Amino acid sequence: MQTTSLWEQTLTFFPQYLRELNDRHAPGATVTVVGASDGKFVLPLAAAGYEVIAVENDPQALYGGEILLPGSGLAHAPSLTQRIHAAGLTSRVQIQPHDFFHAELSELQADAVWTSCSWHYSANHRRPLGEFIGRMKDLLEPGGLFGAEFMMPVEDHHHLIEHYTTPDKLFRHFPSDTWEVLLTLRTDPFTERPHVGQPHDHTHRMGVLFATKPEHLNQGTRA
């Protein structure tokens, strides 16, 4: 499903995640999106028949308003709520307008969880990366699907920030007695065109990890 998200043209592994989700969970299952932004991932999940919990506390995403677009100047960005309503998907999306760590965990429980480049934002650096990943894992029951794409180090200072990580390092957060890592991928450095918040061409390197907590593995050990 194509959307008019401000982030529509940025690289993502989300299509691979959606295929994995479709293989493991039928429409009607619940997916929590951590860092829902303006709905780039929320809308296609809801359109595919999933019940979506959209976690987002950025005022621009929640309420819309003027935004500076590279090359075209000021424009009006619709809110997450407006985009969901315009797509006719209101009944399938529950917005949690909270910081991820301040929302009630019981209200975020889901069959699957997805995040895209959310933990590398400086606002999330006040907590160790392991806490962010651990809370995402805690949302899932055995059989749940974990998916995260993330920024890898490119510039020298990125190597000093654990939130710019690699698939190999993330692998350590998923012990084999309670989790099964399904997929890890990484890109070479690539040039991305200007987008919101970045007015010039810039270099990224991205990774992704999918994991599941199979029902047949030891459920008595907390990961």
pLDDT top residue among 17 and 199: 17
User: Residues of the chain with pLDDT > 90: what percent?
Assistant: 67
Check: CB of residue 99 under 8 Å from CB of residue 124.
no
Q: Which CATH class is domain 14-212?
A: alpha beta
What is the pLDDT at residue 3? 46
Half-sphere exposure of 165 (CA within 13 A, CB side): 26
Q: Residue 221 pLDDT > 80, yes or no?
A: no
Q: Residue 117 pLDDT > 50, yes or no?
A: yes
Check: CB of residue 152 under 8 Å from CB of residue 206.
yes
Least confidently predicted of 83-92, 117-126, 157-166, 203-212: 117-126
| Mean pLDDT, range 87-92, rounded to an integer | 96
| Mean pLDDT, range 86-101, rounded to an integer | 95
Closest CA to 147 of 213, 97, 200, 63: 213
What is the pLDDT at residue 71? 67
If you average pLDDT over every residue of the chain, what do you get? 89
| Mean pLDDT, range 110-117, rounded to an integer | 96
pLDDT tens string 176-214: 999 999 999 999 998 888 677 676 777 889 999 999 988
| Mean pLDDT, range 64-84, rounded to an integer | 80
Least confidently predicted of 25-39, 110-124, 170-184: 110-124
What is the pLDDT at residue 197? 66
| Mean pLDDT, range 26-43, rounded to an integer | 95
Q: Residue 50 pLDDT > 80, yes or no?
A: yes
Q: DSSP string covering the chain, please?
A: -----TTTTS---HHHHHHHHHHHS-BTBEEEEES-TTSTTHHHHHHTT-EEEEE---HHHHH-EEEEETTTEEEEEPPHHHHHHHTT-GGGEEEE-S-TTTS-GGGT-EEEEEEES-TTSGGGTTS-HHHHHHHHHHTEEEEEEEEEEEEPP-SGGGGG-TTS--HHHHHTTS-TTT-EEEEEEEPPPEEE--BTTB-S-EEE-EEEEEEE--TTS-TTS--
What is the pLDDT at residue 220? 43
| Mean pLDDT, range 15-21, rounded to an integer | 97
Please classify residue 209 by burial: count the beta carbons closer than 10 Å to its beta carbon, then call 0-12 exposed, 13-18 middle and 19+ buried: buried
Q: Label residue 217 by pLDDT band (50, 70, 90).
A: low
Check: CB of residue 212 under 8 Å from CB of residue 180.
yes
What is the pLDDT at residue 122? 76
Phi, psi of 47 (to 5 degrees): -65, -30
What is the pLDDT at residue 7? 62
Least confidently predicted of 19-23, 63-67, 107-111, 175-179: 63-67
Check: CB of residue 163 under 8 Å from CB of residue 127.
no
Check: CB of residue 68 under 8 Å from CB of residue 87.
no
